[in-house]
Amino acid sequence: MTTHPIPIDSQEPVAQSLRQAGLRPTPQRLSVYRYLKATASHPTAQQVYEALAPEHPALSLATVYNTLETLVGLGLINALGAAGDDAVHYDGDTRPHINLACMQCHRVIDLQSESVSALQAEVSAHSGYLLLGARVLYYGVCPACQVIRDE
Ligand SMILES: [Zn+2]
């Protein structure tokens, strides 16, 4: 066992959720969660791995994948579709909103929408589902990439 500078707060809600899902709340797994919650970049598993690997040398891509999928299943993060890059993008913001993916630069941005909030409330009320997440993903070519394309 290697020691690690980031203390594990066993009372942190995500730590309890991971335990309930049968995963030990290791520093690596908590870092995956915290990273997703802190970034607006909608990273892929590979990008999460590359961002965290320097500070977690023992981290594996498989651990990142497993942790992300577990967090999706718990409703703590959302899994979005691919953005023209054949890789699932993840979103730490689980509040209802629209995601916009650029098929050329593969960036995903957020767009707030009252209609989406209303739609989620409607789906919840009419289905009786306990909603864990949603994929509201529009895709196209972002303004910056349209300029490049026209040149
Ligand atoms: Zn773009």
User: What is the rounded CA–CA span in Å between residue 125 and residue 92?
Assistant: 24
Q: Domain segments of the chain: what residues?
A: 13-150
For residue 62, the CA-to-ligand 1 centroid distance in Å is 29
* Res 62 pLDDT > 60: yes
Pick the closest to residue 142 from 112, 111, 102 (CA basis): 102
For residue 34, the CA-to-ligand 1 centroid distance in Å is 26
Confidence of residue 2 (pLDDT cuts 50, 70, 90): very low
Query: Which pLDDT score is estimated for 3?
Result: 42
Specify burial of residue 88 (Cβ count, 10 A radius: 0-12, 13-18, 19+): middle
Pair of tokens at residue 2: 């290697």
For residue 89, the CA-to-ligand 1 centroid distance in Å is 15
* pLDDT tens digits, 91-147: 999 999 999 999 999 999 999 999 999 999 999 999 999 998 888 999 999 999 999
For residue 131, the CA-to-ligand 1 centroid distance in Å is 31
For residue 39, the CA-to-ligand 1 centroid distance in Å is 18
* Res 10 pLDDT > 80: no
Query: Which pLDDT score is estimated for 11?
Result: 63
> Taking the model in full, what pTM does it have?
0.83
User: What is the rounded CA–CA span in Å between residue 31 and residue 6?
Assistant: 9
Pick the closest to residue 133 from 91, 101, 100 (CA basis): 91
For residue 136, the CA-to-ligand 1 centroid distance in Å is 18
Query: Which pLDDT score is estimated for 8?
Result: 53
13-150 architecture in CATH? Orthogonal Bundle (1.10)
Q: Could you write out the three-class secondary structure of 4-70?
A: CCCCCCCCCHHHHHHHHCCCCCCHHHHHHHHHHHHCCCCCEHHHHHHHHCCCCCCCCHHHHHHHHHH
